[in-house]
Amino acid sequence: MAMSDLSTPKTTSPLLRSSSQLRLSSKLHLSNQFRHLLLPTPLHTSSISKISCSVSQNNQAPVAVQDNGSVKTKKECYGVFCLTYDLKAEEETKSWKKMISIAVSGAAGMISNHLLFKLASGAVFGPDQPIALKLLGSERSIQALEGVAMELEDSLFPLLREVDIGTDPYEVFQDVEWALLIGAKPRGPGMERAALLDINGQIFAEQGKALNAVASPNVKVLVVGNPCNTNALICLKNAPNIPAKNFHALTRLDENRAKCQLALKAGVFYDKVSNMTIWGNHSTTQVPDFLNARINGRPVKEVITDHKWLEEGFTESVQKRGGLLIQKWGRSSAASTAVSIVDAIKSLVTPTPEGDWFSTGVYTNGNPYGIAEDLVFSMPCRSNGDGDYELVKDVEIDDYLRKRIAKSEAELLAEKKCVAHLTGDGIAFCDLGPVDTMLPGEV
């Protein structure tokens, strides 16, 4: 085993990987290795930097190839890249799927810090699915992003084949098949909701345009940054070449919270709760649907007979769970959000269990529930595991649900008016009026 001088890294610039040379091949599997290198690429020369690393056919040692074609010799290599490998011993890559490319924005933020390592571990897309991570940051976060990339490097995930970091979405989103849009200002004390919509809305307008221009045409987009429903709407409106159906707003955290509260009340483990719909906006107007949810396959109202609690205590606890968490922890949920992003993706890439469904914020056009068109609204969905989904069409809606769903719908219509300038719908008119537009926990 050849080792470089690990105590004296050659450079401190970004950890980056290339696309072309290290294509997956049964011959080229470097078990438990990344082929990222630290190169002295000044960040200001390009918003995304790439180098390539390939394996010399003669001695199987990794060599780094820079964009300008010059080859870095083994002598110049860094850390794990200087090891040699017994490739004949590596059989597992033969059964691996084709690599997929995943963009993550806000990659140096709290949620991403939990999420990236789950993605790289194989826990999301499966143990035979190699991935490339394209991490989007900004000038203010680029140093931190380098740190994230270094931690990914040090984690030795076999399935993580590429890591790129950059600040230009037009470069970072190139050919991506998944875009997890997390980067956005979290709400803060004393902040107007309209201001949050405006600040973050701009981000999603720009990123929608970039996805439209350079991402895979069938890219799946999950918007996490708040207010996620309206941000997802802005994003899809700025990406007319991508099917609107491919855009999601994350309401899975709310679904998970609702399942937890029902399990707690019923005294069962939370895996016994199914068919949990969150209707509407990821806000305090969201409607956790206890009418159609089930516990051990039975209607919730049969198992939990305290219906007043269901209508009031349960509903409010889910609506305000995020706010309560901020009060306790001092900042918004990050780990459980990352877990819910994993759940949301897995629900799209694995078949939904028979009779069950999951919640996700999706485009309302053609919905069977009479929800206004041209919104992103959380509804019950099923998937056959191909990344796509269908709405569940026959969920019962009683008067209680209808009234509350209408309130969340009104809120989203009001939010949409606030961002008309970002969706191509004319001049924005922001009157959030009597509608409760507060994010979970806002008072």
Ligand X SMILES: NC(=O)C1=CN([C@@H]2O[C@H](COP(=O)(O)OP(=O)(O)OC[C@H]3O[C@@H](n4cnc5c(N)ncnc54)[C@H](OP(=O)(O)O)[C@@H]3O)[C@@H](O)[C@H]2O)C=CC1
Residue 140 binds: one of ligand OAA, ligand X, none (C-beta under 5 to 8 A by kind): ligand X
Region 213-232 residues binding ligand OAA, contact defined as CB under 6 A: 226
The Cα–Cα gap between 176 and 83 comes to 30
Task: Establish whether 44 is a catalytic residue.
Answer: no
Smallest distance from the beta carbon of 299 to ligand X, in angstroms? 27
When asked if residue 332 is in the footprint of ligand OAA (CB under 6 A), the reply is yes
Q: Which of 103, 253, 258, 410 binds ligand OAA (CB under 6 A)?
A: 253
Q: Which of 4, 18, 101, 141 binds ligand X (CB under 6 A)?
A: 141
User: Please, how many CA atoms are within 13 Å of residue 126, restricted to the half-sphere of its CB?
Assistant: 14
Identify whether the C-beta of residue 323 lies closer than 8 Å to the C-beta of residue 439: yes
Which CB sits closer to ligand OAA, 128 or 316?
A: 316
Q: Choose between 201 and 323: whose C-beta lies nearer to ligand OAA.
A: 323
Query: What residue 440 binds from ligand OAA, ligand X, none (CB within 5 to 8 A, per partner kind)?
Result: ligand OAA
Q: Smallest distance, Å, CB 346 to ligand X?
A: 16
Alpha carbon distance, N-terminus to C-terminus of the chain: 60
CB neighbours (10 Å) of residue 309?
Answer: 15
Binding ligand OAA (rule: CB under 6 A), the pick from 322, 348, 392, 423 is 322
Give the residue, chosen from 29, 72, 187, 404, that forms a contact with ligand OAA under the rule CB under 6 A. Answer: 187
The secondary structure element, H or E, covering residue 104 is: strand 100-105
Considering the rule CB under 6 A, would residue 184 count as an interface residue with ligand X? yes
CA distance 242 to 246: 7
Q: What is the DSSP string of 213-228?
A: HHS-TT-EEEE-SSSH
Of residues 13, 19, 138, 367, which one binds ligand X by CB under 6 A?
138
| Region 97-116 residues binding ligand X, contact defined as CB under 6 A | 106, 108-111
Nearer to ligand OAA by C-beta: 329 or 429?
Answer: 329
- Of 166 and 440, which CB lies nearer to ligand OAA in the complex structure? 440
- One of 253, 278, 304, 348 touching ligand X (CB under 6 A): 253
Q: CA nearest 117: which of 338, 317, 413?
A: 338
Instruction: Look at residue 362 and give the partner it binds from ligand OAA, ligand X, none, a contact being a CB closer than 5 to 8 Å depending on partner kind.
Output: none
Longest dimension (CA), the chain: 74
Return the number of the residue (156 or 335) whose C-beta is nearest ligand OAA: 335
In the set 29, 36, 248, 282, the catalytic residue is: 282
Name which of 170, 163, 168, 156 is nearest 131 in CA terms.
163
Q: Does 408 bind ligand OAA (CB under 6 A)?
A: no
User: From residue 29, how far is each of 15, 21, 34, 52, 119 by CA, in Å?
Assistant: 20, 12, 10, 15, 19
Query: How far apart (Å, rounded) are the C-alpha atoms in residues 229 and 265?
Result: 29
**Opening angle at CA 348, ends 344 and 354, nearest 5:** 105
Which of ligand X, ligand OAA, none lies near 441, with the C-beta cut-off 5 to 8 A by kind? ligand OAA
Instruction: Give the integer Cα–Cα distance in Å for 156 and 154.
Output: 6
Tell me how far, at minimum, the Cβ of 199 lies from ligand OAA, in Å: 14
Residue 438 binds to ligand X (criterion: CB under 6 A): no
Yes or no: say if 428 and 309 are a contact pair by the CB < 8 Å rule. no
* Residues engaged in binding ligand OAA (CB under 6 A): 186-187, 226, 253, 322-323, 325-326, 332-333, 439-441
Active-site positions read 282
